[in-house]
Structure formats: C-alpha cells, structure tokens
C-alpha cells in the first residue's frame, strides 16, 4: 500500500513525516478542535455542515481557523485525491499552535488534515444491536467538538471493566438528564414517538440527518430526556458519522423494550442507507 499523505500546516507530507512541535498547545493544554468526516462513494458526506461546525467549535474556544471554509474544503478534497482509499475517514484538526510560555497562543494555529481508510464497525453490531452503559458525567463546552475526550476514555474503561462488550457510554448530567454518548448522539423511541436530547450536546451531523429522515415518518420530540424515563423506552439507538444508526439493545445490563431491536429503528436504518447510497451515486 502507498504511504498515506497528510496535510500539516501548509504542505502535504507522507504520514511518517507529519509532525507538530511538542510545544503546540494541542499537546501542552489540549487546546484544539476537530471534525471527523466520512465519505460515501469517495465523496465527503455533509462537508459544509462539518466545516460550519468546525468554525463554531473554533469560535467557541477562541481559536481562529487558519483558512476559509472554501479553502479547507479544497485541502480536504486534495487530501482525498492524494490517497487512494475506496472510502475514507477524514480528520481535520485545528490546534492552538506553538507557544513560547506553554500557555499563550502566538496567533498561529496549526492545521492538520488526515485521511485514513474507513474502518466500519462489525456487522454484528447492526444485526444484533449493542450494549451501552450510563455514567454520571458532563462534557465541558458540549457544543464544541474539542479534542478533550479524557472523561470519555475513563468512562469507557470503567464500563468495560464490568462488561467488556460495552460499545458506548451514555452521559447522565446532574439533573438526571441523558445528554449524549462519548462519541455519538442518543435517540429513544417511546412506541412511535422519537425523542432525542435538545441541549448540552454536540449537534451531530448524523443526528441532524436522522431527524430530517424521521420527521415525515414519526412524531419527533427534541427535548430533555430523563434517565428515569428510559425504562419505558421501546427502542434506542445511537448515531455518529462512521456508526451511522447503531441499534442499542441493552442499557446498564437491562434489555431495551421487548429485547432485540425494534421495527422503527430498522425503518430509520433503511432510510439512512437509501439516502447514503443516493449521495454516493450523485
């Protein structure tokens, strides 16, 4: 296989030569935002939405993007063209850049664009559903996609120490509301009513696509969702760019609904597949 080509600041380099100074604030202080975008038919899905979110994340943490949205899109397409992956995940990372005193940015953020071959989750996850567990945790600046996943790393390790098959962890906040998972958004069906948390979450690109698909099919409620309500949920699923729609069949060791995963989740998964296939062929 050819060496992957990454983009670092102003140039394309082989992956083995891609590096940032160790004093970069992304490393020193975790001062960085990013996007993770997948392709269908080799084309980045909802690229503009991802770039708008990157702008918002950067704005929220006081970082300025080193390039315009149009220029970033160009770099992303160029990165894809230089790497011959059938389908790829693209990561766009913007860090605080180098700092002389290890804290104050010098106003020159670093930009990294990485393309890797898409690594889909096991088919069994979609055929049988997955187990998730809850954890009482709140993300800092939840609407911003920062690289701060320390809480998530810890939550997953903790959950897997009890059950190694746990795939995701659902955060529960101080008010008893479920918000989202470490790397996914969360949805539940109460019979034919689809609900998803409304705030204190990362507004997922996949979540948005699913809400659009669901609107003509189901009653949709975007609102606070309490953990205590979930015992009455008939179906649950999580969403994210690479995961798409992943059915959840067990929460904290308790089967969801009637066990197995339900027909409404299946309907949305089929609609999502159709939309993605259409996009790939456009």
| Contacting residues toward ligand PLP, per CB under 6 A | 36, 180, 183-185, 202, 204-207, 239-241
Nearer to ligand PLP, 110 or 185 (CB): 185
Rounded to a whole number of angstroms, the minimum distance from the CB of residue 228 to ligand PLP is 22
- DSSP letters along the chain, please? -PPPEEEETTEEEEGGG----TTBHHHHS--EEEEEEEEETTEETTHHHHHHHHHHHHHHTT---SS-HHHHHHHHHHHHHHS--SSEEEEEEEE--B-TTSSS--S--EEEEEEEE--PPPHHHHHH-EEEEEEE---SSTTS-BS--HHHHHHHHHHHHH-TTEEEEEEE-TTSEEEEESSSEEEEEETTEEEE--SSS---HHHHHHHHHHTTTSEEEES-EEGGGGGG-SEEEEEETTTEEEEEEEETTEE-TTSS--HHHHHHHHHHHHHHHHHHH-
Q: Which is nearer to ligand PLP, 96 or 204 (CB)?
A: 204
Of the two residues 13 and 154, which places its CB atom closer to ligand PLP in the complex?
154
Nearest distance, CB of residue 35 and ligand PLP, angstroms: 8
CB of 152 to ligand PLP, least distance (A): 7
Closest to ligand PLP by CB, 24 or 168: 168
Task: Give the nearer residue to ligand PLP in terms of CB position, either 184 or 249.
Answer: 184
Residue 106 C-beta: closest distance to ligand PLP, Å = 28
Q: Smallest distance from the beta carbon of 182 to ligand PLP, in angstroms?
A: 6
């Amino acid at each position: 296989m050819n060496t992957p080509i990454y983009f670092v600041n102003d140039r394309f380099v082989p992956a083995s030569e891609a590096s940032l100074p160790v004093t970069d604030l992304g490393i020193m202080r975790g001062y960085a935002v990013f996007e993770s975008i997948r392709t269908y038919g080799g084309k980045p899905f909802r690229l503009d939405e991802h770039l708008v979110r990157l702008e918002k994340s950067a704005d929220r943490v006081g970082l300025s993007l080193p390039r315009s949205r149009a220029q970033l899109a160009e770099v992303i397409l160029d990165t894809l063209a230089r790497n011959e992956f059938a389908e790829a995940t693209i990561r766009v990372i913007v860090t605080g850049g180098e700092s002389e005193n290890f804290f104050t940015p010098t106003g020159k953020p670093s930009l990294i664009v990485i393309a890797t071959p898409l690594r889909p989750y096991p088919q069994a996850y979609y055929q049988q559903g997955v187990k998730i567990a809850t954890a009482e945790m709140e993300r800092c600046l939840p609407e911003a996609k920062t690289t701060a996943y320390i809480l998530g790393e810890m939550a997953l390790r903790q959950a897997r120490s009890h059950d190694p098959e746990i795939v995701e962890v659902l955060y529960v906040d101080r008010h008893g509301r479920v918000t989202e998972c470490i790397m996914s958004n969360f949805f539940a069906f109460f019979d034919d009513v689809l609900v998803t948390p409304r705030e204190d979450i990362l507004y997922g690109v996949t979540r948005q696509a699913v809400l659009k698909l669901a609107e003509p099919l189901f009653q949709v409620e975007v609102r606070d969702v309490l953990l205590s309500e979930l015992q009455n949920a008939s179906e649950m699923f999580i969403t994210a760019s690479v995961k798409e729609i992943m059915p959840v069949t067990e929460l904290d060791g308790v089967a969801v609904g009637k066990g197995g995963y339900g027909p409404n989740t299946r309907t949305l998964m089929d609609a999502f597949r159709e939309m993605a296939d259409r996009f790939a062929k456009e």
